[in-house]
Amino acid sequence: MTVQLSLFEKETETDAAKAPRSDLVNVASVPMRSPFRYAGGKTWLVPRIRTWLKERGGPDKELFEIFAGGGIVSLTAIFEDLVGSVTMVELDEGVAAVWQVITQGNAQWLADKIATFELTPESARDAIARGAQSVEDLAFATIVKNRVNRGGILADGASFVKYGESGKGILSRWYPKTLKRRILEIDLVRDRIHFIQGDGFDICRLNQSRIDALFFIDPPYVKAGRRLYKYSEIDHERLFHQAYRLKGDFLMTYDDNIEIRQLADMCGFEMRPIAMKTTHHAEKSELLIGRNLDWLDD
């Protein structure tokens, strides 16, 4: 089975290099909202998300992002008023802790903790080791781990950045002022964000009859997920069956391979390959899957 690595969100405080092809999104043109540099992040997909939500969304709609991760789709939807509210769902305890702290009233604490932290390899290891002490400590440990690990990978076994950009090592992705600003900006709209630590399948099932709900489904990919995520094993066939039962519209993203195409065909879904870039600037394509993708032509 052919597997393509998802894009790691590129984050610097200067513009990234522009994509050489007109159908490839220049991620520097997309507002970076998330405090994560998330493995498999969908910053490159944001322009198409906007088009989808302008067609299907509105103030009376609720968007469910059931594998939330870095949450860029939910954040875009809220900051740009494309839906009335969002529900973010994430199973990973560390990622969930970050969203719980931010959306449940303790964003200022996390922002200040990041802004005043003196990052060194030793202090990073200490912060990560203290993660089990409280939800707040786990949230901070997760942000540190996300920023010092290679590619932002949070899965067990991921190692610290060694050389990094311009030889800065683990400091090459540590932007405390930027992280503080992003967290406090999310805090301003948290009344429209509902976060659930749980199983996305359960949330889909509980809301499958709602015609006022939209679902963005970006699961761990078939093989790459094993390297990138703590909870990487899912039943892909079951996920397609669940999507088939949704009354509200959905948009699904996947790696482009024969197994996924067969599942989409089985459910009668439409598929479109979409150009993207990996972290290493290799041009690849991923699949967008939905009931009707005519809005892409707009």
Give yes or no for a contact between 252 and 288, defined as CB atoms under 8 angstroms apart: yes
Q: What is the pLDDT of residue 12?
A: 37
Question: In the prediction, which pLDDT does 214 show?
Answer: 98
Q: By CB neighbour count within 10 A (0-12 exposed, 13-18 middle, 19+ buried), where does 144 fall?
A: buried
pLDDT per residue rounded down to tens, the chain (298 residues)? 333 333 333 343 333 333 334 455 556 667 889 999 876 678 889 999 999 999 999 999 999 999 999 999 999 999 999 999 999 999 999 999 999 999 999 999 999 999 999 999 999 999 999 999 999 999 999 999 999 987 777 766 677 777 666 667 788 789 999 999 999 999 999 999 999 999 999 999 999 999 999 999 999 866 554 555 565 678 999 999 999 999 999 999 998 889 999 999 999 999 999 887 654 455 678 899 999 999 998 7
pLDDT of residue 18: 35
Distance CA 80, CA 100 (A): 22
C-alpha closest to that of 87 among 246, 197, 231, 235:
197
Q: Letter for the amino acid at 168?
A: K
Question: Distance between CA atoms of 219 and 225, rounded to whole angstroms?
Answer: 9
First to last CA, the chain: 32
Residues 6+ apart with CB under 8 A from 53: 63, 77, 82, 83, 214
pLDDT at 228: 53
Q: Indicate the helix (H) or strand (E) that contains 201.
A: helix 200-207
Confidence at residue 14, expressed as pLDDT on a 0 to 100 scale = 33
Q: pTM, whole model, 2 decimals?
A: 0.85
Q: Give Cα 286 to chain centroid, integer Å.
A: 15
pLDDT for the residue 20: 38
The pLDDT of residue 15: 33
Domains of the chain: residue spans and CATH: 1-91+198-298 (3.40.50.150), 106-192 (no CATH)
